[in-house]
Amino acid sequence: MVRFLLSRLLRAAVTIVLVVTFAFVVLRLSGDPAQIIMGADAPPEAVDAFRTAWGLDQPVWVQYFHYFGAIASGDLGRSMRDGREAIVLVAERIPATLALTVPALLIKLLLGIPAGIYAALHRNSAVDRALMVAAVAGFTVPSFVLGLLLVLVFAVQLGWLPSGGQESWRHAILPVATLGIGGAAVLARFTRSAMLEVLGQPYIRTASAKGLTWRAVVWSHALPNAAIPTVTIVGFMVGSLIAGAVVVESVFSWPGVGRLMVVAVANRDLAVVQCILLLVAATMVVANLTVDVLYGVLDPRLRTGIRRAGAG
């Protein structure tokens, strides 16, 4: 198990380095940050002074080694727009994003998984069909369309809820609903498919033939096996908690990490973008690692495989 975890951690570290390296290079090859931040009217001397002040006049490989040297000492750089520490800017936004994504994740789990299980257990019933129609609609409608639709109904027409901003808990309802509905639809589809596949397996027939109640078959044999693909999707959703609301934050003017990333990318505010990507990559990697461990917990065959790999 230790070797398994170490190998996963090593892979995670390599993934993070690759992500940050890719972002570092692409951001510098796709537009001069000095010209972007200073604007087209800026005197060339001002642009040059800006480049020198931020080390952008150095070769990219020199900038790259400086950057990784700074990371090693805990310095993630400063925003080129207002001079503040990138980590402070990002940390300020994380609670706002989590205020949307965590409740939305709960909605996804509480709506999506039961709906998928129920639909699978009542395959081809009217309820199954209705749930699946709703699920298909939920995940095919883009979040910005769904968000604007909810605003049109609940903010503009009914006047029950605010349409954007972040001033009270009421402002969070529509963006949370937008994120939650789409994700619940995805989970419902995946859970139903996984359950249907498991319910068709011989061991389910065997369990039934042994005289177990249907409830016991479902709880003890079907659900744990169907959980594996569902855990994969949930793991991805957990990994997206930090940067999974980019579009919704823009539609609802919600000042979270997603909005910060959009603005920082547009302005090539390098330290801020790199800081966000580092955070997102780390979150995703940790989520994947957790999912890998959960696989082992859920599937005895994988545990055996891990032990064998460890023994060999």
**What does the binding site for other proteins look like in residue numbers (CB under 8 A)?**
30-47, 49-50, 52-53, 74, 76, 79, 81-85, 87-88, 91-96, 99, 148, 151-152, 155-156, 159, 162-169, 171-172, 250-253, 255, 259-260, 262-263, 266-268
The angle subtended at Cα 178 by Cα 175 and Cα 180, nearest 5°, is 105
Which residue in 223, 142, 138, 240 sits closest to 186, CA to CA? 138
| Residue type, position 182, single letter | G
Angle of helix 113-121 versus helix 170-199 axis, rounded to 10:
30
The least distance separating other proteins from the CB of residue 280, rounded to whole angstroms, comes to 13
Rounded Cα distance between 273 and 267, Å, is: 10
Q: How far is the CB of 50 from other proteins (least distance, A)?
A: 5
Task: Count helices and strands (H / E) in the chain.
Answer: 16, 0
In terms of CB distance, is 171 or 189 closer to other proteins?
A: 171
The smaller minimum CB distance to other proteins, of residues 18 and 145, is found at 145
User: Which residues lie below 8 Å from residue 98, measured CB to CB, with a gap of 6+?
Assistant: 241, 242
Report the amino acid identity of residue 57. D
Q: Are 104 and 176 in contact (CB under 8 A)?
A: yes
The least distance separating other proteins from the CB of residue 237, rounded to whole angstroms, comes to: 21
Residues 59-68: contacts with CB under 8 Å, at least 24 apart: 60/25, 60/28, 63/24, 63/28, 64/21, 64/24, 64/25, 67/24, 67/274
The nearest distance, CB 287 to other proteins, in angstroms, is: 17
Query: Residue 142, CB half-sphere, CA atoms under 13 Å: how many?
Result: 6
DSSP lists the bridge partners of residue 78 as: 85
Task: In angstroms, give the least distance from the CB of 155 to other proteins.
Answer: 5
Kindly state the tokens that stand for 45. 């001397």
Question: Residue 172 or residue 217: which is nearer to other proteins going by CB?
Answer: 172
Nearer to other proteins, 124 or 168 (CB): 168
Q: Can you tell me the distance from the alpha carbon of 4 to that of 19, in angstroms, rounded to the nearest whole number?
A: 22
- 176 vs 227 by CB, closer to other proteins: 176
CB of 59 vs other proteins, minimal distance in Å: 17
- Least spacing, CB of residue 7 vs other proteins, in Å: 24
CB closer to other proteins, 59 vs 83: 83
Least separation in angstroms between CB 283 and other proteins = 12
Nearer to other proteins, 233 or 284 (CB): 284
99 vs 107, beta carbon nearer other proteins: 99
182-to-107, 187, 225, 236, 260 alpha-carbon distances in Å: 10, 9, 25, 14, 23
- Rg (alpha carbons) of the chain, rounded to whole number: 24
